[in-house]
Every structure is written in C-alpha cells, then in structure tokens.
Structure 1
C-alpha cells in the first residue's frame, strides 16, 4: 500500500533543544520585582535596644572634665572643671573646645543634652566636637528613679 500514490510521510526528528523563551520571560519578571522591592527593604530597620543601666564613667583625677551642655532651647554651654560659660554658638563652642583639647593629651568630651532637644542637634554637636579634636565623645545621663531607689538599698 505504500506505492498507491501517496507521498511517504517525512519522519520528524525529536527536538533536542530546550525552548528558553519562557525562562527568559520569567527571569525578566523576577528582575522587575526585585528592582521594585529592593529599595523598600533598606528604608527602615527595626532595632530592639537592650534595656540596661549604665555604669558610671571613671573620671581621671588629674584632668578636669570637659562637659558640653545643650538646653531645651538649643543653646550650647561649655563647662571645664568648675567653670561654666554663657550661652554660645556652635562655631564658638568648636573653637573653644579645639583650644582646650590642643593643650591636653586626653581628648575626651562629655555631652549633656536636654531630653527635649531634637536628636539632630545633639548629632551635629557631636560631629563638631570630633572635628575639634575630641578623640571620644560620651553622653551624660541620669539614672531612672527606680534604679536610684535600688542602689540605696
């Protein structure tokens, strides 16, 4: 029956190549998803800070403390030992601290900030103090009322 005028059917070889077009489509969709979500992942980080009380700083006996204070209005004050100052600008404060630190080997400065002062004001102050030559800048805090009661027992 083969020869009855019909053309022999061509045998198709099995295809040994993989069609990658669908995979490319999926890859491009995933790329777009990651490009959109990546900036959202880095915008905020949740941080759980430890709840603890801090130990007092051991002051050196022969060196007077340099304490810089910021009041609720954002005015800066400089205290060296028992001597305090009148309110001053950030530029004046930086120059006075740089002068004091140039005479000392210890470049430690302590910051006392009012709790109602904005965070950015204290950060700018700390940056200016480091620019003036402070090797370390510490923060002065007060103990909680509960901690003070526990310490007296």
Structure 2
C-alpha cells in the first residue's frame, strides 16, 4: 500500500473532440447514392417550355421549322417547309422527323395541338419527337381574342 501513496494519481481527462471522419465517409456514400438515383426518379417528357411573354419567338432566317400538328380527332400531320401534309401514324411520324433531323440538325420542332385534343396524344407525340432526336420542342399558340 505504501507504493500506491507515493505514485501521483494520473487521471485521464475526457476528450472533448469528436472524430468526424466516419461521418464524412457516410456523407460521401450518401452523396454518391443520391447522385446515381436522382436521374432515375425524373419522369415525363423533357421539353423547353415557352416563355409567358406575348412576344413571338425570333428564329434565324436560315433555320427551317418542322411543324407537327395534332387535329381534334387525334390525327398527326407533318409540315416541313412548303410541303403539304397527310395524316400519319405516330411511328411513321417519328421515322420522318428522325430522317429530317439527321440531315438538318439545327431545325426547330414546333407542335400545333388542337384545343380539344386529348392531352395524352400531345404528350405521346412529344415523347416520340424527343426519341427521334429533337433537342427542343416548342408549342404554337394563338393570342386570345377580346370577345372571349
């Protein structure tokens, strides 16, 4: 017992620092998981929506527009330049637009949809246009009349 009284008692003081390295590792793993899964959570058709201003869109003079129309009955029409159009199926329309865009990649694609057409028809059309290679799709509208 004598030896114990002679030795100074050393107490370990509590450590006041938190080791954050494991937390950083977990945070980086979660960041990678969210970065990988975030693109998979996006659904819908990717389109460049028109602005709300009433001014018309100014396009370059040398760019020819591809206008795709959907009438009230849900028939699809393709208008390119001065060519007339005939009703066609959605797959036939996709093939035609894909051919045109492969030759003229700077062409803009515009959609004219009848006011009374089913919304699903226009969404399917826009999805097909996107799969055909259209990078941006515009919607054609008319200015409202005063008598409405």
TM-score by structure 2 length? 0.61
SS at match of 1:77: strand
SS at match of 2:137: strand
Aligned to 2:117: 117
Alignment of 1:3-22 (within 5 A): none
Select the structure of larger CA radius of gyration. Answer: 1
Structure 2 Cα separation of the partners of residues 110 and 54 of structure 1 = 17
| Unmatched segments (≥5 aa) in structure 1 | 1-51, 147-153
TM-score by structure 1 length? 0.59
Q: CA RMSD in A?
A: 1.6
SS at match of 2:124: helix
Alignment of 1:60-139 (within 5 A): 60-139=60-139
The superposition leaves residues 49-79 of structure 1 with CA deviations (integer Å, 9 ceiling, x where unpaired) of: xxx5532111221121100000001000000
Which structure has the higher relative contact order (CA within 8 Å, separation 6+)? 2
The superposition leaves residues 59-112 of structure 1 with CA deviations (integer Å, 9 ceiling, x where unpaired) of: 221121100000001000000112121100000000000000001131520000
Runs of 4+ in 1 over 2 A off after TM superposition: 52-55
SS at match of 2:105: coil
Structure 2 Cα separation of the partners of residues 89 and 140 of structure 1 = 21
Q: Could you tell me whether the CA contact under 8 Å between 2:63 and 2:108 is conserved in 1?
A: no
SS at match of 2:128: helix
Structure 1 position 132, deviation (Å)? 0.1
| Unmatched segments (≥5 aa) in structure 2 | 1-51
Structure 1 position 116, deviation (Å)? 0.5
Structure 1 position 142, deviation (Å)? 0.2
